Amino acid sequence: MASPLTSLVNDDSRYQKCFQLFLERSSEHQCMRDFIHNMLPDILASIGNGKSHLNVIGVGSGAGEIDLEMLSELRLKHPGVTVDNEVVEPSGTQLQNYKVVVSQKPGLDYIKFNWNQMTAIEFEEHWKVKKMTKKADFIHMIQMLYYVKDPGATMSFFRSLLDKNGKLLIILVSGESGWGKLWRTYRNQLCSPEISQCVTTGDLKSLLDSKGVSYQSYELPSQMDITECFTEGDEKGELLLDFLTEVLDFSKTASSELKAGVLELLRHPDCSVESNGKVIFNNNLGVIVIDQLT
């Protein structure tokens, strides 16, 4: 049955508000940074084949904080290279934030930024219409495959753009996270049929295994304080619930049965641990790295 609830992604300003609170309440960006500084350099070591110019595509780049940290590691691993960086981001607000950061951050002269305010699907169509032949050495898709209709097809398209020794990096919530449990339980009620909102790295691994595609995978431990969700009428709790369920105004629009069920599950040991009066949600991420098509 199609969900009668409105997806949070339909209201960009509310989504951005929820997302900012999520970043404050979770260790999401910290666990990504740990991965970028400790593990990504080895992944990036083999790209480029000794070229002095590298092409990078960031899909769903947001405000660019994570992109710029990856580009910094790329530069350290390949000193002296110049970089052509395609930024693909549908939110005008986030893209503007990214541009502001770039304008204020010194030492980015080696990067040429190409700004694309569009979705991954629009970028794919745009690329095909223009019959682009440019290949990419590094493509990253962080926390964005939820917003496409067919993650496998989107993954295949971007993989087809990789140059020799190129790498495609995907980060999503882990199938072993609280999100995975929440979505497996309430997929039909919460997840929009228009997009693949409930996809985890577990789903992607199954898909890649079925196609015989080899990949590397990593688990990134992360957590999120969701205590405020359990205080009726708490404004921040309602924003967090919207983010967790991806439903606009979940507390006001969901049936009392669905709301009670979701809150009960969020407290369940499969999703969270309770410690010192706080409810800490399992926000673990999964990373998948895929090589070029051979």
d(CA 136, CA 216): 19
Residues 6+ apart with CB under 8 A from 163: 49, 55, 135, 136, 137, 292
d(CA 94, CA 98): 6
Indicate the residue type of 13.
S
With the C-alpha atoms ordered 230, 233, 237, 241, is the resulting torsion angle positive or negative? Answer: positive
User: Strand 216-220 and strand 162-173: pairing?
Assistant: unpaired
Q: Cα-atom radius of gyration of the chain, to the nearest Å?
A: 19
Cα dihedral 64, 9, 224, 94 in deg (nearest 10): 20
Residues 6+ apart with CB under 8 A from 179: 173, 200, 244, 283
Say whether 283 counts as a known binding-site residue. yes
- Which residue in the block uniquely carries the two structure tokens 């934030």? 97
Cα dihedral 22, 222, 65, 126 in deg (nearest 10): -80
Closest CA to 178 of 273, 87, 42: 273
d(CA 270, CA 257): 20
Helix (H, G, I), strand (E, B) or coil at 138: strand
Annotated binding site for substrate: 28, 283
Annotated binding site: 28, 283
